[in-house]
Amino acid sequence: MRRISIFGATGSIGVNTVDLITRQGGSDAYDVVALTGGRNVARLAQQARDLRADMAVTCFPECYTALKEALAGSGIAAAAGPDAVAEAADRPADWTMSAIVGAAGLVPGLRALRHGGTLALANKESLVTAGPLLMQTARDHGARILPVDSEHSAIFQTLVGEDPAAVERIIITASGGAFRDWPLDRLATATPAQAATHPNWDMGQRITIDSASMFNKALEVIEVQEYFGVDPTQIQVLVHPESLVHAMVGFRDGAIMAHLGAADMRHAIGYALNWPDRANLPVERLDFARIGQLNFRDPDPARYPALVLARQVMATRGLAGAVFNAAKEAALDAFIDGRIGFLAMAEVVGAVLDRVSHETSLTNAVISLDNVMQADQLARDCAAQIIKKSKQY
């Protein structure tokens, strides 16, 4: 039986992963090694019982007692804390879902790659902060990384059987987020609750707000550069309000292969789970006559400054991705807590990128875990200072 682990099992991607695994036979078909979560201990314990997991881990030490109690009598081991999450990744698995949110997903992903199996990667922050390290670790251990982010799964699928050298350009689409049609001068007043609604996708709170600011798309263009190894000039973003075309790949003969599908993450998760086969997945089948039309337009840089910052990061490379992601996480926390406004997020991240790149050499540093963690901490400290002083935002 295939041994599987799910990191971030209680989140949006995690729940969809558990749903597919359950539909595909659950504990009769899979040997579930470890499930991890955070505060949602009741859900984690239920998932662990349903899938008969060997162990369940919450990343928060203060949630340990509740998890232990919820698992009482089940024979399932309980553990807590970031180290316990990383140790769960040391337990050999053939297929691991990386669906923790934020930079916290990096270490478990790196540790899971050491088993030489498959890492289904939803945690885009791993590639943005430490892309070369992640890809090299996979190569060193004969492991495979399969993208789960919908755009990247789409690109991966359009490249099956193709010569990568024949790729001319890669286009990823963006819905435009919650404020796509708001007048620009209203954006400064946008609240976290307003930003946390998505026109098409049902996702976790943080990525939904990142979709409104397009920080999500900014992370994704960097993810394309790191995963597919293309030049930034070959990567284009288009606003596509219907969210049905996820990505398009243009080849040197002028052909364009597009990947379309319903806005349901179970497609990309199911593709990574069943690769290289295609399984029957419970996603809506598109009815093009009813859809009628698909729209595309260039994103307005004034509305989406995060995309401009992503270009700066891709040009700098090195540790710039780690700085960018950490500053973004800090700015997002501050926005969610009401300490800064919606537009200030991009201003803070831009200021951190400028300041940290003056203080350190972002370009030449080796992408080791230590260097990535240091750059991450430096960026968070710098963001905290800027946010504290930023009453004008």
List interacting residues with ligand NDP (CB under 6 A).
Answer: 8-14, 37-40, 59, 85, 99-101, 104, 122-125, 149, 201, 203-204, 206-207, 265
DSSP state of 300: P
What's phi and psi for 67, nearest 5 deg? -65, -45
For the bound state, the minimum distance from the C-beta of residue 136 to ligand NDP, rounded and expressed in Å, comes to 21
Which of 37, 109, 149, 342 binds Mg ion (CB under 5 A)? It is 149
CA gap 132, 318 in Å, rounded: 9
Residue 326 contact partner, candidates Mg ion, ligand NDP, none, CB within 5 to 8 A by sort of partner: none
Q: How far is the CB of 37 from ligand NDP (least distance, A)?
A: 4
Q: CB of residue 10 vs ligand NDP: minimum separation in angstroms?
A: 4
Sign of the C-alpha dihedral computed for residues 288, 289, 295 and 296 taken in this order? positive
Q: Please, which residue, 8 or 177, has the CB nearer to ligand NDP?
A: 8
207: partner contacted, choices ligand NDP, Mg ion, none (Cβ within 5-8 A by kind): ligand NDP
3-class secondary-structure state, position 368: coil
Nearer to Mg ion, 151 or 329 (CB): 151
Q: Which does 192 bind (CB under 5 to 8 A by kind): ligand NDP, Mg ion, none?
A: none
The least CB distance from residue 120 to ligand NDP, in Å, is 10
Rg (CA), the chain: 20
Q: What are phi and psi of 170, to 5 degrees?
A: -125, 130
Nearest residue to Mg ion, scored by beta-carbon proximity: 149
Interface pattern 90-129 for Mg ion (x via CB under 5 A): ----------------------------------------
Name the segment binding Mg ion (CB under 5 A); options: 28-36, 110-118, 144-152, 329-337: 144-152
**Six-digit token pair at 323?**
């700085």
Tell me the C-alpha distance between 206 and 331, whole Å: 11
Closest CA to 188 of 328, 392, 353, 349: 392
The pair of three-digit structure tokens given for residue 389, joined into one six-digit string: 């002083």
Count of CB atoms within 10 A of residue 184's CB? 11
Report the interface residues with Mg ion, using CB under 5 A.
149-151
